[in-house]
Amino acid sequence: MPIDYNRLKSTAFEPLRHAYGPDDCILYALGVGAGLSDDLTLGDEVEYLYEEKLKALPPMVSVIAYPGFWMRDEVHGIDWRRVVNGEQRMTMFRPLPVSGQIVSRSCVARITDKGERGGAIVVTERSLFDEVTDQLVARVDQVNVCRGDGGYSAGEPTKSDDALPPIPRPPKRRPDDTLVLPVSKNQAAIYRLTGDRNPLHIDPESAKLTGLSAPILHGASMAGLASRAVMKTPPSPDAFVCQIDIRFTGMAYPGRAVAVERWLSLGETNFRCLEADTGRELAFGLAAWKSDKPVGK
């Protein structure tokens, strides 16, 4: 059955509570490829893998109190086998601690009909709050491309929302540098343990049913990989990544290295991810930094 715009837009998400700790941070870091570089391109990254020195990677907010692959429920009318992650937009209001108690509140913020060939774009907005202080920790906009559901509005413009403003492409000049990061063959299998159980990322038969040659890497895992490259060069010792917006433009596959091109500027880093051996574009995006130093210090 086609998407029912009003029903999907009013989807009720229960608040989700998630207590996480160092083991969760380490599992997430492994799922985005931390510690794989033989040539130590990013150093040993022990700060993401060893509990005594641990730091949480900022895009881990994408998996904390995550509602899971909710589109698989047939009540939503979505052809879930053909859903892919189109974009991830994450805003962090403070550095993410290595343990905490989080409550998330989610809603379907936008549904945009791009026609039968373009699919339907569904944006799920999730706000993360510290359960103890009720302070806003982060906001995550997940942009899913429902490739089998375009044309649902049948010419009724009120059933199609405006799309989000586009994520800017990198500058046309040469990148300041390029970092080549390995991707393990089991990276998607590890990343699934953080909560995203879409079978496209593990089951060859499910992948073939959607026209893919093999299971693909999670877009959100690619976002974490890109963030590791971005964080290699902070603009100042007290800066933290406060925003990561990434658009996925190609399918990435486990076991194929990714080249991350970087354009560095004060307070921002533009980046682009390419399949290292072919140069095929996989994603591009923008990361922003903010000082964690108290005002007046």
In a domain, 297, yes or no: no
**297 pLDDT band (50/70/90 cuts)?**
very low
Q: Is 236 exposed, middle or buried (0-12, 13-18, 19+ CB in 10 A)?
A: exposed
In a domain, 134, yes or no: yes
In a domain, 190, yes or no: yes
* Helix, strand, coil % over all residues of the chain, rounded to 5: 25, 30, 45
pLDDT in tens, 223-278: 999 999 999 989 888 899 999 999 999 999 999 999 999 999 989 999 999 999 99
Report how far residue 137's alpha carbon sits from residue 143's, in angstroms, rounded to the nearest whole number: 20
Average pLDDT, the chain: 93
Predicted model pTM = 0.93
pLDDT in tens, 136-189: 999 999 999 999 999 999 879 899 999 999 999 999 999 999 999 999 999 999
Average pLDDT of span 7-33 = 96
In a domain, 128, yes or no: yes
Res 295: pLDDT: 45
Residues 6+ apart with CB under 8 A from 182: 33, 36, 37, 38, 257
In a domain, 245, yes or no: yes
In a domain, 296, yes or no: no
In a domain, 183, yes or no: yes
Supply the CATH number for residue 108's domain: 3.10.129.10
In a domain, 181, yes or no: yes
Range of the domain at 249: 5-291
Res 43: pLDDT: 87
What is the total count of domains within the chain? 1
**53 pLDDT band (50/70/90 cuts)?**
very high
